[in-house]
Amino acid sequence: MLDTLITALATLLTAQHLLFMGVGVVIGLAVGILPGLGGIAGLSLLLPFLYGMDAVSALAMLIGLIAVINTSDTFTSVLMGIPGSSASQATVLDGFPLAQQGQAARALGAAFSASLIGGLFGALLLTGAVLVARPIILAFSSAEMFMLAVFGMSMVGVLAGASLAKGFAACGVGLILGSIGAAPATGEERMYLGTDYLRDGLPLVVVALGLFAFPEIVDLLRLNRPIAKANKLGAGWLQGFRDTVRHWFIVLRCSGLGALVGAIPGLGGSVVDWIAYGHVVQTSRDKSKYGTGDIRGVVAPEAANNACQGGALMPTLLFGVPGSGSMAILLAGLVLLGIEPGPSMVDKNLSLTYTVVWSLAIANVVGAGICLALAGPIARLTLIPFTLIAPFMMVVITFAAFQARRDLSDLVLLLGIGLVGILLRRFGWPRPAVLIGFVLAPQAETYFYQAMQFYSWGFLTRPGVLIIAAITAVSVFLGSRSRIGEEGVVRSGAATAAAPHPGAGQRRPQILFSAGLLALFAYAVADGLKHSFLAAVFPVGVGAASLLAGGYVLWSVVGRQVDHPANQDQEVTGSHVGDPTVASPWTSFAWFGALFALAALVGYILAVAVFFVVFVRKRAARRWPMTIAYTIAMLVAVLTLGHALSLDFPRGLLQETVDLPWPIN
Amino acid sequence: MKTLIHPKRRVLVQAALASALAAAMPLAVQAADFRGKTIDFVIPFPVAGGSDVWARFYVPYMTKYLPGNPTVVVKNVPGGGSTRGANEFAARAKPDGLTILGTSGSTQFPYLLGDTRVKYEYKDWTPVLASPTGGVVFVNAELGAKSAADIAVLRKARLIYGSEGATSLSLVPMLAFRQLDLPVQYVFGMKARGGARLAFERGESNIDYQTSAAYLASVVPMVKAGKAVPLFSWGVLDDKGKLARDPTFPDLPHVGEVVAAAGGRQSGLEWDTLVAFITAGFAAQKFVVLPKGTPKNIVDAYTNAFNKMQSDPEFIASKDKALGEYPQATGKAAQTIYRVATEVSPASRYWVREHLSQNYSVKFE
């Protein structure tokens, strides 16, 4: 084993192999920074070039890409508050406040070093564990997988914010959105409103972008100024490193957690950051600064999301069962290279497995190094007024959303979920709870049904289930003692009363929104009752429970004293209220809406061109030369990327009526 | 005096011949040329996954052998269990050879079952390549069966099969187990064949099938370790469209042999339905098709290209690993197999729809 390990390293360390790894790393860093684009888009770019490559070069390139995405995604999360990928949403919670306080350098330093250690931890684990991981992975049957989904949902308790009932109801929203489409047990299609699009369920990318990136962009755009108030990156790279070293135990625990979540196929790496974040909040003694700039809130998710990749490679290589979207593409890449993953990866193909291990380790080091070197220039972006960054970001996330199904409906859905995201944020409904519910809904439903079929109720007494249940109980107990929301840690008693609340006459928007969510729950129940028992039991059960939680919230807002914790409205009590330079959120939203409407009329490419010119000229008030240059640069970038991904851009009414030449067809 | 052809008719025949010749002339001269063109190879499935890998394997050879060496790009249009991409192709593709479609069992099944989402018609298209694959059914060794001869042993066991869904490719084992009178409990919601294999390895299910490549990589080690026992293969179609043994697994009987040995008949409505779905799902799983009304010179160009690449040494060397040891059918052979895979009698369709909706809550409205 040891000589295989060393031989694999020696093979990898040739100029050619390292060059290909470098290509992978550079693309990985780039797609990591762009919100919504991640492993799936990056690997799809490389797939056409794999055929005919030698296996070591190709593996170095693919793994190099996967390894660094969760390192560079931190830039966007920390500097702009827009998650660079779905695995670094939790980083925003403390990373962005740190950046606003002029401590961006420290936050990035801590994030990159934690990412590095997490990545190396994953590689190390893969080295040894790959030889013994088969029985461990096989020990997680459908029953244990169901309990793991429940454990994931227990994190809602700590992430719920001021009102626990809101947390439950928000999780219910996610669970219901996640159960749209085919029922796992019977294939019956639920809540699809007669559209083909919804029959396939909602794509995760669009939901995550709509919930997190979209409201953030709308919000930043209102402010009319550069992101960094402090106007400097600050010194403190070393401080960041020291933070990581000081919190070595958190880094280690979250790396382990991340690798485990990654290694269990189907649990979903897209909530690994929230699980790590929930974990670190639960286990900290002093929680007062979480949500307002606690460095531990940056270190924990960043260590976990990099370690996750090492874990995720285990089922992919050992069983040929991918744990995530990007692993599925890696798997296809392996097959194209003539490698059929399976038991042979620890036997006659062990040297290839170790090539993967070394690539993962080296790419993590190189990636963290490049990120550090680039941090200065990239951070300067936060000094530019956001009105110039906004159109770029809007085009990037619409492009990323369109990657999901390559359908105009992707954009319609993004607008819809984005609207819900804005309102959730405004009224203090925890968005992480929605996402956790959404990601875990299919897992929970499928594995519960399968466990019942395989073991009947006896599955509850399996040792693995009991152990995870005990961990979940501890997690719920810890969560019940302290909660955290968008505005930081929830204080109990007197502090709550002192916090501002909307007055008695200002509650109508909230009431309408809560009522809207109740209608969604009622719809889930009504739709569910039309189906057979196996297809109905999950949405009906979740819908009914959410009706109770949501009803309680509504009653709290309508019928009780104004200082009830459920009563929140950012547009009444937020710090920006009364500031004349802050625009209405609806004008920002309307810009998005205009882009989508244009795309539906004249197709995506023409819409982007028109939108860019108008936005930069009117909203950002730039001169014509600048406007034209910026627009052309953006169009070239979008077309190049689209061409490389062999993507047909959304067509509008115009394209349906007349034949047009490339690129506006 | 007797003439074989009436004078008036003779004129007509001459005219017909002349016009036929005139029509044929430009075709003979105008060979298709794709120089400097880009061909969109539409794959109605997401990036990664079987069909995508299959298409990407073929892309470099298509560039090499199509006249004018065009660029070929794989265009993934997933959704609706592959019906969306196929519908778009049917509605939009022009018959100029610059847009082609790669179908799979999951495109054939909804068409055969009469799914309402299907807006494409296989009869409109011209197949230029058919790629078969195979599959092997195996059971947990603890059940006590040593081979397919022990069907009687299995009939007394509690068999559990992990399925992706009643209308997925797992419809084939479902119909086969019914023919063999095997009492199987189906647990749905498996994530692809890999997920089902994992359930088998964990001992949750005890009867399963895997397609050839996955079987060789992941199940053969289990067979060697004495944990799994192979029963039979799905077989392949011979020249006459009859089921024959799979060349990759010559020692394993095909499903028809097992049905016959167990006292069943290789005829009747249910058997015909099974063969239709075996063909559409495995024996002729993947097709490359050209749009409705594609002129003959373009069809010929594709047929020639797919023919020629079969003797390319590099293709031969890497084909078995990527596509399995199956002959890739082109030309007439592809058309024969295409017909078998895309036609099912109304009686068969009615029976299988009733079977699915009554026993597995599948809705067809």
Whether the predicted pLDDT of A485 surpasses 80: no
| A479 against B260, higher pLDDT | B260
Does B60 reach chain A within 8 Å, measured CB to CB?
A: yes
Whether the predicted pLDDT of B1 surpasses 60: no
Q: Which of A13-27, A97-111, A321-335 shows the lowest mean pLDDT across its residues?
A: A321-335
Q: How close, in Å, is residue A44 to chain B by CA atoms?
A: 7
Q: Which of A147-151, A531-535, B21-25, B140-144 shows the lowest mean pLDDT across its residues?
A: B21-25
Q: Which of A15-24, A242-251, A313-322 shows the lowest mean pLDDT across its residues?
A: A313-322
Please count the other Cβ atoms lying within 10 Å of the Cβ belonging to residue A459: 22
Does B201 reach chain A within 8 Å, measured CB to CB?
A: yes
Nearest to B217 among A197, A321, A340 (CB): A340
| pLDDT at residue A233, as a whole number | 66
Q: How close, in Å, is residue A6 to chain B by CA atoms?
A: 26
DSSP state string for A65-88: HHHHHHHHHHHHHHHHSS-SSGGG
| pLDDT at residue A166, as a whole number | 92
pLDDT tens profile A350-404: 999 999 999 999 999 999 999 999 888 888 887 888 888 899 999 999 998 988 8
Task: Please give the residue of chain B at the shortest CA–CA distance from A452.
Answer: B187
CB A218 within 8 A of CB A193: no
**Proportion of chain A above pLDDT 70, given as a percent:** 97
pLDDT tens profile A398-422: 998 988 888 889 999 999 999 999 9
Element (H, E) at A190: strand A189-190
Q: Which of A3-12, A223-232, B28-37, B239-248 shows the lowest mean pLDDT across its residues?
A: A223-232
Whether the predicted pLDDT of A495 surpasses 50: no
Nearest to B189 among A137, A319, A450 (CB): A450
Determine the residue among B45, B56, B207, B212 to mutate to test chain A binding: the one whose Cβ has the most chain A Cβ atoms within 10 Å. B56
Inter-chain residue contact B199 with A40, CB threshold 8 Å: no
| pLDDT at residue B2, as a whole number | 44
**Proportion of chain A above pLDDT 90, given as a percent:** 54
| A647 against A633, higher pLDDT | A633
Report A:369-428 residues touching B (Cβ under 8 A): 405-407
pLDDT tens profile B13-43: 555 555 554 444 444 447 789 999 999 999 9
Q: Largest Cα–Cα distance in chain A? A: 74
Cβ neighbours of A43 in B, within 8 Å: 47
How many residues are present in chain B? Answer: 365
| Chain A to chain B Cβ contacts (< 8 Å) | 143
- The DSSP bridge partners found for residue B74 are B41
CA gap B171, B108 in Å, rounded: 12
| pLDDT at residue A255, as a whole number | 96
Inter-chain residue contact B57 with A336, CB threshold 8 Å: yes
| pLDDT at residue B14, as a whole number | 55
Report B:232-291 residues touching A (Cβ under 8 A): none
Mean pLDDT of A338-342: 84
Cβ neighbours of A40 in B, within 8 Å: 47
Does B74 reach chain A within 8 Å, measured CB to CB?
A: yes
pTM, rounded to two decimals: 0.90
CA gap A435, A211 in Å, rounded: 8
Does B363 reach chain A within 8 Å, measured CB to CB?
A: yes
Q: Is the ipTM of this complex over 0.85?
A: yes
| pLDDT at residue A646, as a whole number | 79
CA gap A76, A34 in Å, rounded: 7
Cβ neighbours of B167 in A, within 8 Å: 187
Distance of alpha carbon B234 from the chain centroid: 12
Question: Which of the four pLDDT bands, split at 50, 70 and 90, describes residue A178?
Answer: very high
Question: Which of the four pLDDT bands, split at 50, 70 and 90, describes residue B168?
Answer: very high
Q: Which residues contact B352 (CB under 8 A, 6 or more apart)?
A: B113, B171, B175, B273, B277
Cβ neighbours of B214 in A, within 8 Å: 320, 340, 342
- The mean predicted confidence, pLDDT, of chain A is 88
Q: Which residues contact A88 (CB under 8 A, 6 or more apart)?
A: A70, A73, A74, A76, A77, A273, A301, A302, A305
Nearest to A279 by CA among A245, A311, A303: A303
Nearest to A20 by CA among A61, A48, A49, A62: A61
DSSP annotation of B279 reads I
Whether the predicted pLDDT of A500 surpasses 90: no
pLDDT tens profile A226-277: 776 655 667 778 899 999 999 999 999 999 999 988 887 766 677 899 999 9
CA gap A194, A201 in Å, rounded: 12
Determine the residue among A50, A140, A186, A324 to mutate to test chain B binding: the one whose Cβ has the most chain B Cβ atoms within 10 Å. A186
Question: Which of the four pLDDT bands, split at 50, 70 and 90, describes residue A623?
Answer: very high
3-state helix, strand, coil in chain A (%, to 5): 75, 0, 25
Q: How close, in Å, is residue A470 to chain B by CA atoms?
A: 23
CA gap A83, A78 in Å, rounded: 8
CA gap A158, A154 in Å, rounded: 8
DSSP state string for A620-641: S---HHHHHHHHHHHHHHHHHH
Does A446 reach chain B within 8 Å, measured CB to CB?
A: yes
Element (H, E) at A326: helix A325-336
Report A:322-361 residues touching B (Cβ under 8 A): 322, 328-329, 331-333, 335-336, 338, 340-344
- The DSSP bridge partners found for residue B185 are B160
Mean pLDDT of B4-8: 50
Tokens representing B132 are 């078969």
- The mean predicted confidence, pLDDT, of chain B is 89
Question: Which of the four pLDDT bands, split at 50, 70 and 90, describes residue A137?
Answer: confident
Cβ neighbours of B202 in A, within 8 Å: 138, 141
Question: Which of the four pLDDT bands, split at 50, 70 and 90, describes residue B200?
Answer: very high
Q: How close, in Å, is residue A196 to chain B by CA atoms?
A: 7
Task: Please give the residue of chain B at the shortest CA–CA distance from A196.
Answer: B80
Q: How close, in Å, is residue A198 to chain B by CA atoms?
A: 9
Whether the predicted pLDDT of A152 surpasses 90: no
Whether the predicted pLDDT of A333 surpasses 50: yes
| A384 against A612, higher pLDDT | A612
| pLDDT at residue B11, as a whole number | 52
pLDDT tens profile A31-56: 999 998 888 889 988 988 887 789 99
How many residues are present in chain A? Answer: 665
Inter-chain residue contact B322 with A196, CB threshold 8 Å: no
| pLDDT at residue B18, as a whole number | 52
pLDDT tens profile A539-561: 999 999 999 999 999 998 887 77
Element (H, E) at A416: helix A408-426
Inter-chain residue contact A405 with B78, CB threshold 8 Å: yes
N-to-C CA span, chain A:
55
CA gap B343, A665 in Å, rounded: 36
Q: How close, in Å, is residue B78 to chain A by CA atoms?
A: 7
